[in-house]
Amino acid sequence: MTPRETLTLAAPEVRFATDEAGTFSGYASVFGEPDSYGDTIRKGAFRKSLTARKATGGPAMFWNHNPDEPIGVWTELEEDARGLKVTGKLVTETARGAEALALLKAGAVNGLSIGFRARSSERGPNGGRVLTDIDLVEISLVSLPAASKARVTSVKGAAGPADVAAFIEAARRAATVIRRK
């Protein structure tokens, strides 16, 4: 009979980081692409608004542009070469926030749409507006965005029972490999 080895871990507990649950990223606006209203947004149009909003807490996050249904907060907003890149966090302790996360994870909803006031624009070649300075008021998670390329690109969800079980099984396999060495 061989003696039994016991593997002792230095940490007495395992914790799962859930602070990222409900976090998602995407593009709320893509530069140079006409939306369904004929508006096109020029690079730099959000610059003044983003600077001003940093001091006041940023634009609101609504469900389908409904101010009676806030669903989270925007944690990062920046203009890059493609458009207005955003990261937000859903408040999953609310019914609507939890529902929004479930719909995002299922792929049932992935549109983003901006609510704004045009401060400066010019007429474009297609007759629509070319927006050069925008006061960004809110960004909504929507089913059908006016700008077809304004989409959520990644979603982080909470670790569920299946994730915990998978982690435990991986830890057991790792312990077995360590014992063999």
Q: What is the pLDDT of residues 90-118, one digit of tens each?
A: 999 999 999 999 999 999 999 999 999 99
pLDDT-wise least confident of 55-59, 68-72, 175-179: 175-179
Residue 13 pLDDT level (bands cut at 50, 70, 90): very low
pLDDT over threshold 50, residue 10: no
Query: In this structure, what token pair is assigned to residue 31?
Result: 């530069």
The structure's pTM equals 0.76
**Residue 168 pLDDT grade (very low, low, confident, very high; cuts 50, 70, 90):** low
For residue 11, pLDDT beyond 90: no
Question: What does the chain come to in residues?
Answer: 181
Among candidate residues 49, 45, 33, the one with its CA nearest the CA of residue 124: 33
**Looking at the predicted structure, is the pLDDT value of residue 43 above 90?**
yes
Write down the pLDDT at residue 175.
Answer: 66
Q: Does the pLDDT value for residue 39 go beyond 50?
A: yes
CA distance 24 to 68: 21
CA dist 127 and 30 (Å) reads 19
DSSP strand pairing (129-142 vs 23-30): unpaired
pLDDT band at 58 (very low <50, low <70, confident <90, very high): confident
pLDDT category at 14 given cuts 50, 70, 90 is very low
